[in-house]
Amino acid sequence: MEYLLADPQFFRAIRSTSDPLKNDQKVDPAESRQANAQPEQPIAPDPDRASIEEQEKALYDFFRRLATRRVREGKYKTHDLVELVGGFKTHEKQVSINGLGPIHLSMSQFAVLLVLAAHARTLQKLSTPREIKGGTFLSSKEILDEIDAWRKEQPALIGPEDKSSLHRAIFDLREKIRIALGNPNLIETGEAGQGGYRLSTPAFNIVILFR
């Protein structure tokens, strides 16, 4: 929805102008000529409008600093905006990254990305279709266990059933993100000795529209 900010000076100018078809008062021609001869006065800038613009700029700067700090503190590889849309029973399964896309996903790819997205939001105590607890990274086994548990509640879910198919789904996801001009590091692998996977962007940047 768009909101139009109207200049109060504009409305005052309208109210001060009478409609000759709706006004029964007679206007003296001499007065009319004198009024028309007066130079047009410039409209002073509206301080309210300037104040709104300053507030918008301040909010923009605040959220930019907040996003930068979260990326630095979380040691994320990106600060991408991720929107995951779809469900296990819907034909639509897709993700948009920074407005690019949509990137269409297979059921396995969608299931893996959904688990990673839900895990990221759970860690920050944000709303999610399913709470998925764990450490900073989810191991391959944890991802497979979560998909299996979700499948018992949602039989329509068809996802990876072993590590080989899970790794293939992650490889394909990264490739689709790269082709869409996104950053494949969005799906981050843990360091040697730690392993696992996570969505490498602040959880507040992740939106899940589960249907």
Mean pLDDT of 34-42: 53
The per-residue pLDDT for 195 is 87
> What pLDDT does 65 receive?
75
Q: Each residue of 169-203: pLDDT tens digit?
A: 999 999 999 999 899 999 999 987 778 999 999 99
**pTM (2 d.p.):** 0.69
Q: How many angstroms from the chain centroid is the CA of residue 151?
A: 28
Q: What confidence tier does 39 reach under pLDDT thresholds 50, 70, 90?
A: low
User: How large is the average pLDDT for residues 139-163?
Assistant: 95
pLDDT at 169: 97
Domain ranges, ordered by start, for the chain: 57-210
Q: Looking at residue 60, what is its pLDDT? A: 73
Q: Roughly what angle, to the nearest 10 degrees, separates helices 140-153 and 107-123?
A: 100
42 upstream amide cis, omega within 30 of 0: no
- Which residue would you say has higher pLDDT here, 99 or 46? 99
